[in-house]
Amino acid sequence: MRNFAKLGLLAVVAAVGAACQAESSTIAKETGYQTGCTIETRSSAGALMLTGIAKGTEGETGQYRLTLRGGDGRNSTNTSQGGAFQIGPGGEAQTGTVRLFNTGVYDADLEISLAGKTHSCSKRIGNSI
């Protein structure tokens, strides 16, 4: 009887382990993309290009608000733009692009609403004294 009890216990442990593995695989597939946002910058023809990026699951739709403040002493900006977006292949969507002077200091804030949650990210661009 002892061997049968040990075999029964091993069968239960193996079944529980298999169930846990199946659950982990499902969760990994469902959350293949991390939800959130980022602000990317790059130089182009003497200007600075700033792009807001929303991250999520392909096909999801949401809203964004990109706010920008700052300048270089001669020129300044305090602007905001927003609208709708849809997450594309690769789990990203460009939410808005702004072209800035290469000089100055700018504070950019991006807020996205996606899948019932709000995510925000910020970035300081340029050098301050």
pLDDT of the residue at 72: 83
- Same domain assignment for residues 9 and 40: no
Residues 64 and 94 in one domain: yes
Same domain? For 10 and 46 the reply is: no
**In this prediction, what percent of the chain has a pLDDT beyond 90?**
53
Q: Which domain holds residue 91?
A: 36-125
3-state SS class at 38: strand
pTM of the model: 0.70
Instruction: Output helix, strand, coil percentages for the chain, rounded to the nearest 5.
Output: 20, 55, 25
Same domain, 14 and 61: no
pLDDT at position 129: 53
Beta strands 76-86; 61-71: pairing state: antiparallel
pLDDT for residue 122: 96
Confidence of residue 50 (pLDDT cuts 50, 70, 90): very high
CATH code assigned at 120: 2.60.40.2420
pLDDT category of residue 32 using cuts at 50, 70 and 90? low
> 1 to each of 5, 7, 9, 13, 14, how far by Cα in Å?
6, 10, 12, 19, 20
Q: 12 vs 36, which has greater pLDDT? A: 36
Query: Is 103 in the same domain as 51?
Result: yes
